[in-house]
Structures are given as C-alpha cells and as structure tokens.
Amino acid sequence: METSLVLQNLLSPPVLFFALGVISVLVRSDLEIPAPLPKLFSLYLLLAIGFRGGVELQHSGLGFQVLSTVLAAMLMSVLVPLYSFLVLRRQLDVFNAAAIAATYGSISAVTFITAESFLDVTRTSHDGFMVAALALMESPAIIVGLLLVKLAGAQQRPEAQGGPSIRWRSLLHEAFLNSSVLLLIGSLLIGLMVAAFSPQGLEKMEPFTGKLFYGALSFFLLDMGIVAAQRLSDLRRAGAFLIGFAVLMPLFNAAVGLGLSLLLGLPQGDALLFMVLCASASYIAVPAAMRMTVPEANPSLYISTALGVTFPFNIIVGIPLYMAMLQLVIPAG
C-alpha cells in the first residue's frame, strides 16, 4: 500500500517538476524563473486556494466540526513553537531558537496545496474549511515567536540599545495583516459570498481558479525546487542538529496532528491536511515577520531549514507517509 502511495506522489507532475528544479541547480544549469514571476504564481495560488476554500465552506456550512478543527489548528500553531523552542534552546541562542520555533508553528501554503492535489489525484474527498485552518495558523505562531524573545531574551536585548523599539501595534499588524494572510482570508470570504449569491460568477471563475490550478502549481514547484536547492549550501553551516530537527520535528508534529485528527473525528482527507498543516513550516509570512521583529536571528537558519529541508521532505516523503499512517487508523471516506 505504502509503496504505491509513495510512487503515486513521486510520479505526480508537481513533485516531478520540483525535482527538475532541484536537478537544474545541482547540474548548475542556468534555468531560472526571474522575479517577479514566482510572485505571480504565489499570489495566484493563494487567491485560488482561498477562493475555492470559501466556495466549499459555503457548501458545507459552519458546524461544530469546522469550529473545533479550526480551533485545534490554532492551538497547534501555539503549542508547536513552545515545545520546538525548548528543543532548539539546547543548541541555539534565544533569538534563533524563537525564530525557528515560530517558523514551525506556522504553515506552508504550497505544502498544503500539494497535499490537496494529492488527495484530488487519489480521489479522496476533503473539506473547504481546512483552508480556514490554514489561514488562521500563521498569526498565532508569529505572536508566540516574539513573546518567546520578549520573555526569554529580555536581558540580552536592552530596549535602550539604540534600535527602534518594536511596538506591539506593528507586531500585531504584521501577524494579522501580512499579505499572505490577507489575500488568503480575503479570497476565502469572496469565495464564500460568491458561492452564496452569484452562481454565474462562480461558474465563470472556475476556469481560472479551478482548471488552471494544477498546472500553475506544477510550474511554481519548478521554481520552488530551484529555490530549495539553492538553500542546500546554507545547510552545511546549519549543522547536523538543525537538519535533524527539520526532519524529526515535522514527523513529531504530524503524529500529534494525527492524534488530534482522531479526537476531532476528521475524515481521511481532512486528517491528512491537518497533519500537513502541523508538519509544515512557513518560509513566507513568518520569516518576513521575524526579520522585522527579531533581526538578531540569522535568516539563513530559519529559511534554510524550512525551505531547504522540511519543505522537500514533506512534499516528497511526508505526504504519502502521513497518508499511509492515516490509512491504518482512519477508513477511507
């Protein structure tokens, strides 16, 4: 069973194009997708995933399971940074530990989208409200990350030291109104409203947000492969401890996610998405926020672990592995 899942994932266009991107860096080809084209695809994917999630959420409605799942997801985005911080402090200073911890509390939208595509290809149903969970896991992780710095790093960071002091307003702003959260939640609400009130509008959006989606994801993963592989050289400097963390922590988080999914009574497809949310790490919103609020931390550490190790691990090994675990405990929908 598991081998077939792994193969099915490995031989899907998104993962294969990711591999092509990695290979092109390894063989030192001059293949590149120049800025701002990757931004086009990342904006498109957020818009489309939000819109589609909103449409499905409108169809399913806001029941108890929706609320409890979203709450559990937000809980995880608070807990994961806390226990990650304890682990990371064994080797890193407060600033780097807090920044990396926040990264793992948050999510990777592309990992989520790849998991969704995996479910679509294996014809496993899943619910639109998982996109809401995705959107609501970024902000708490960012806030916890900075609280950790404030509490644990107070003495190392005299406010009077010269730097412009971080005001809470700007932190909350960064946490709740950064572009990816805003676009995701905005598109979700738009999808919800359009599904409710404008069936023709919905139908006319379909070719853009629906049909095109899988190909655009594949194209974007070509770029992600290039970017992830370019990060590999940073890893040598990061060392074995961080690389181990970047593989083992997702596995642990996925296991916790599996437990919670059972408690929540999630069906197979939603449980996979929940596990992927727990297991993935942010390389967009959180790094941007950390750079602003914890400039003492070294960006190459938190970006490289999230993007160079955890992202490929989840895309290639994680998704089918989590699915195989799920198939042992949750019957197919």
Partner 1 sequence: MQRLDLIISERELERVLPLIDAAQAPGYTVMRHVTGRGPHGMVSESMEFSGFGANAHVIVFCEQPVLEALRLGLKPILEYYGGVGFVSAAEPF
The residue ranges that bind partner 1 (CB under 8 A) are 30, 32, 34-36, 38-39, 41-42, 162-164, 178-180, 223, 226-227, 230, 283-285, 287-289, 291-292, 295, 298-300, 303
Q: Which of 96, 103, 218, 261 binds a copy of itself (CB under 8 A)?
A: 218
DSSP state of 213: H
Q: Should residue 113 be labelled a site residue for a copy of itself when binding is judged by CB under 8 A?
A: no
Among 193, 232, 256, 325, indicate the residue that binds a copy of itself (CB under 8 A). 193
Contacts of 203 (CB under 8 A, 6+ apart): none
The rounded distance, in Å, linking the Cα atoms of 18 and 225 is 4
> For 167, left (φ over 0), alpha (ψ -120 to 50), or beta?
beta
Question: What is the chain's length?
Answer: 333
Contact between 106 and a copy of itself per CB under 8 A: no
Please tell me whether residue 331 binds a copy of itself under the rule CB under 8 A. Answer: no
Both tokens assigned to 177 = 């109104």
Query: Pick from 6, 74, 120, 157: which binds a copy of itself (CB under 8 A)?
Result: 120
CA dihedral angle for residue 123, residue 215, residue 283, residue 241, rounded to 10 degrees: 70
From a copy of itself, partner 1, none, which one binds at residue 20 (CB under 5 to 8 Å depending on kind)?
a copy of itself
Contacts of 51 (CB under 8 A, 6+ apart): 187, 188, 190, 191, 194, 205, 209
Question: Whole-number minimum distance, CB 184 to partner 1, in Å?
Answer: 13
Instruction: Select from 216, 278, 307, 315 the one that contacts a copy of itself (CB under 8 A).
Output: 216
Report how far residue 114's alpha carbon sits from residue 4's, in angstroms, rounded to the nearest whole number.
17
DSSP 8-state symbol, 166: P
CB of 262 to a copy of itself, least distance (A): 28
Which residues lie closer than 8 Å to 209 by C-beta, 6 or more apart? 47, 48, 51, 52
Of 42, 69, 117, 310, the one binding a copy of itself (CB under 8 A) is 117
Query: How far is C-alpha 218 from the geometric centre of its chain's CA atoms?
Result: 17
Binding segment (CB under 8 A) for a copy of itself, from list 26-34, 76-84, 128-136, 228-236: 26-34
Is 42 or 209 the residue whose CB approaches partner 1 more closely?
42
Residues lying near a copy of itself in the complex (CB under 8 A) are found at 7-8, 11-13, 16-17, 20, 23-24, 27-37, 39-40, 43-44, 47, 51, 117, 120-123, 173, 177-179, 182-183, 186-187, 190, 193-194, 196-198, 200-201, 204-205, 207-209, 211-212, 214-216, 218-219, 222
